[in-house]
Amino acid sequence: MQIEQILQDAIIAAINELYATTVNASQITLQKTKKEFKGHYTLVTFPLLKISRKNPEQTAEEIGVKLTESSPFVSEYNVIKGFLNLTIAPNVWVELLQTIDDTPNYGFTPIAEDAPLYMVEYSSPNTNKPLHLGHVRNNLLGHALSEVLKANGKRVVKTNIVNDRGIHICKSMLAWQKWGNGDTPLSTGKKGDHLIGDYYVLFDKKYKEELAALQEKGLSKEEAEAQSQLMAEAREMLRKWEAQDEATVNLWKMMNEWVYAGFDETYQQMGVSFDKIYYESQTYLAGKEEVVRGLNAGLFFQKEDGSVWADLTPYGLDQKLLLRADGTSVYMTQDIGTAKLRFDDYPIDTMIYVVGNEQNYHFQVLSILLDMLGFEFGKGLVHFSYGMVELPEGKMKSREGTVVDADDLMAEMINTAHETSQELGKLDGVTEEEAAAISRMVGLGALKYFILKVDPKKNMTFNPKESIDFNGNTGPFIQYTHARIQSILRKAADQGITTPEKLEKALTLSEKEEGLVQLLAEFASVVKQAGTEYNVSLIANYVYDLAKEYNQFYHDFPMLREEKSELRNFRLLLSKNVALTIKKGMSLFGIDVPERM
C-alpha cells in the first residue's frame, strides 16, 4: 500500500469533481508536512488556482472539505496560507505497518532477467602502491552504488580496471632492481602492495636527490629533469616492457603478483568485490588499434614527431594527445581500448565510471572520442564524479609517502572501536571472540558510514575519532539502535510475548508512532531516489533519521510495560520493522549490524 499514491488519486478525484475538470498527477504537488504543523502530507494549492479560479486559502479549504467527506483515508485537515495539511486516519497507519511487515523485501525491486544492465567501474588501483584513503572512498562509493542499483531492480556488473603498466609502474620496478637486494613479501614480512609502494617512494627520493645535485652544478630545474639518468632509465624500462623484453616482463609479472595478493587482502577486509577485472596491460593495445584506425580514417592527426592527436576545438576543448612520439600510449588510449572490450564482452545499457572530480575533463573527452570513433555508447557514458577526501591534517601525496594507508586505517578503526566500546561498557558480558567481531563490525561500519553519509559530489574531511561516536550521525549510533531493538525483541520472546499475524486496526496512535510508520514507508522512495540520482548518501541519512526517531520514541513510550496488549503488539511490530529497515539500508553499504552490543 503506497499512501502517497492513494492520497494523490483521492486528491485528483476530489479536484475533478469540485471543478468539473481533468487534472493529472504532474499538477499535484504533495510533500511531507513540516514538523511545526499538524498533518502528515501537505498539498500545495498554488498550481491549481487557474483551475479553481479562487484564492489559495479558499481552494485549499474546498479540497480539504471534499477529501474528508469522500475519502476514509483522510481524517482531518487544516489550511496554512494556501497549503493544505492532511491528516491520515490512524487505521491507515496500522494497515501500512502490516503491509510493510508482510513484505520482507519492502523497498527493494526484484531483478528481472531482462532488466537493464549497468556496469559500474570502481577502485582502479595502480600496482606501484597500496590502496589509500582516497581509494577507500572510491571503493565504498562504487560498491554502495552497485548495491543500490541492484535494489532498484537493475542487473549490475561490478568491474575494476587495474593500472598495471606505465612509467609509474616502471619507477617502482627500477627502484627495486637497483636497491631491493632481492627483497620479497616473504623475506620482509610485508604485504606485497606495501613493499612495492616503499620502492615507489624511494624512487621519488633518489630522483629528487639527483635533481638537487644537478641544480647545484648550475642547471635549471627543467635542464636537470631533461638530464636525469634515473628518469631516462625508467623510460627505457617502459620502452622495453612495451617491446616485450623477456627480463623486463618477468620482473613486472613477479612484482605485480605480489601487489595483487596484497590488494585481495585489502578488498576482503573492506568488504568489496568485483565481477570482472580488466588490466591496462591487456586493454592498451586495443586502444592503440582504435587510435590508428581513427588516424587512418582522418579522425585524428599526426605531428612531425610521430605523435597522434585529436583536435577537439570544434567541441570547445583543446587538442588531446593519444599516442606519444615513441609510440607508447597514454591513459586516454587505454580507456578507449577498455571501453571497447567491455562493450564487446557485455550488452551494457549504462556504463558508470566512479572516478574523482579531478578527472571530469578526462571523461568529457573520452565520451567525445568514442563517439568520433563511431561507438554508439560514446555519448551515454556516465562519470560518477565525487569529491576528494582528506584528513584533518590536510592533503596526502603518494610519491612522498604521506598517504593514509587503507590497511592501517581499517586496523586503527577496529582498534579504536574496541577501546571505545569497552570504555562505554558495550562489550560487557560477551566473549573475546564476540568482542572482536563486534569491534570489527563497529570499526568498519564507522568508517564506511562516515564516508557514505556525505553527498558524493562534495569534498570531505574524514575524522576517525568523530566517526566512532555512539551519539550523533554515525555508524555506531545506528548499529547500537539495531542492537537495542534486538534486545527488546529477545526480552519479549523470553516473556512469552508474540505478535499476532494481524494487528488490531482500531488503535489510537500517537503522532510519534504515526510518524515512524510514515518514515518506514518512505524507505522505498528513498531507495528509488538514490538509484535515480546516483546519490547513496540519501539512504545513509534516511537510516540515521529512522534510528534517531526510533530512539526518541523508545524513551517516550513504554514497550513491554504497555498494559494494552494491542498497542504493545503494534509497538513490537513497529520495532521489528525499524530494525529490519536499518539492516537492509546498512547492507547496501556493506555494513553489518550487531544482534547484541
Residue-wise pLDDT for 364-392, tens only, equals 999 999 999 999 999 999 999 999 988 77
pLDDT 10s digits, 504-530: 777 888 989 999 999 999 999 999 999
Higher pLDDT, 578 or 468: 578
- Distance, CA of 519 to CA of 88 (rounded, Å): 14
Question: Is the model's pLDDT at 465 over the cut of 90?
Answer: no
**Grid coordinates representing 290?**
582504435
Q: Which amino acid is at 540?
A: A
In 10 A of CB 404, how many CB atoms? 18
Mean pLDDT of 338-354: 96
pLDDT 10s digits, 551-567: 999 999 988 888 888 89
Q: 312 vs 299, 318, 364, 376, 409, CA distance in Å? A: 10, 5, 11, 19, 42
Q: Matching CATH topology for 3-88 and 406-587?
A: no
Mean pLDDT of 104-127: 96
**Grid coordinates representing 286?**
586495443
Kindly calculate the radius of gyration of the chain based on its CA atoms and give it in whole angstroms: 30
Higher pLDDT, 597 or 270: 270
Predicted local distance difference test score (pLDDT) of residue 400: 47
> Looking at the whole model, is its pTM more than 0.85?
yes
**Grid coordinates representing 550?**
526510533
CA 446 to chain centre: 15
Question: 302: part of which helix (H) or strand (E)?
Answer: strand 301-302
- Distance, CA of 429 to CA of 425 (rounded, Å): 9
384 φ/ψ angles, rounded to the nearest 5 degrees: -80, 90
Mean pLDDT (the chain) is 92
Question: Is the model's pLDDT at 480 over the cut of 90?
Answer: yes
Predicted local distance difference test score (pLDDT) of residue 242: 86
What is the DSSP code string of 184-208?
-HHHHT--HHHHHHHHHHHHHHHHH
Contact 530, 539 (CB under 8 A): yes
Give the right CATH number for 122-390 from 3.40.50.620, 2.60.40.4070, 2.40.50.100, 3.40.1790.10.
Answer: 3.40.50.620
Predicted local distance difference test score (pLDDT) of residue 82: 86
- Residue ranges of the domains in the chain? 3-88, 122-390, 406-587
Predicted local distance difference test score (pLDDT) of residue 357: 94
Question: Is the model's pLDDT at 299 over the cut of 60?
Answer: yes
- Distance, CA of 267 to CA of 476 (rounded, Å): 22
Predicted local distance difference test score (pLDDT) of residue 574: 95
- Distance, CA of 467 to CA of 24 (rounded, Å): 46
Q: Does domain 3-88 have CATH number 3.40.50.720?
A: no
The pLDDT > 70 percentage for the chain reads: 98
Question: Is the model's pLDDT at 45 over the cut of 60?
Answer: yes
Residue in this structure with the C-alpha cell 529490519, named with its chain if needed: 580
pLDDT 10s digits, 446-461: 999 999 999 999 999 9
- Distance, CA of 380 to CA of 344 (rounded, Å): 16
Predicted local distance difference test score (pLDDT) of residue 396: 42
3-state secondary structure of 29: strand
Mean pLDDT of 91-102: 92
- Distance, CA of 282 to CA of 278 (rounded, Å): 7
pLDDT 10s digits, 482-509: 999 999 999 999 999 887 778 877 788 8
The pLDDT > 90 percentage for the chain reads: 77
Counting other chains too, the contacts that 228-235 makes at CB distance below 8 Å and 24 or more residues apart are 230/174, 230/203, 230/206, 231/207, 233/174, 234/167, 234/170, 234/171, 234/174, 234/203, 235/167, 235/170
152 φ/ψ angles, rounded to the nearest 5 degrees: -95, 15
Contact 518, 41 (CB under 8 A): no
Which positions ≥6 away from 380 have C-beta within 8 Å? 350, 351
Contact 540, 453 (CB under 8 A): yes
9 φ/ψ angles, rounded to the nearest 5 degrees: -65, -40
pLDDT 10s digits, 393-442: 654 444 444 568 899 999 999 999 999 888 888 888 888 898 999 999 99
Give the right CATH number for 406-587 from 3.40.1390.10, 3.40.50.300, 3.30.160.110, 1.10.730.10.
Answer: 1.10.730.10
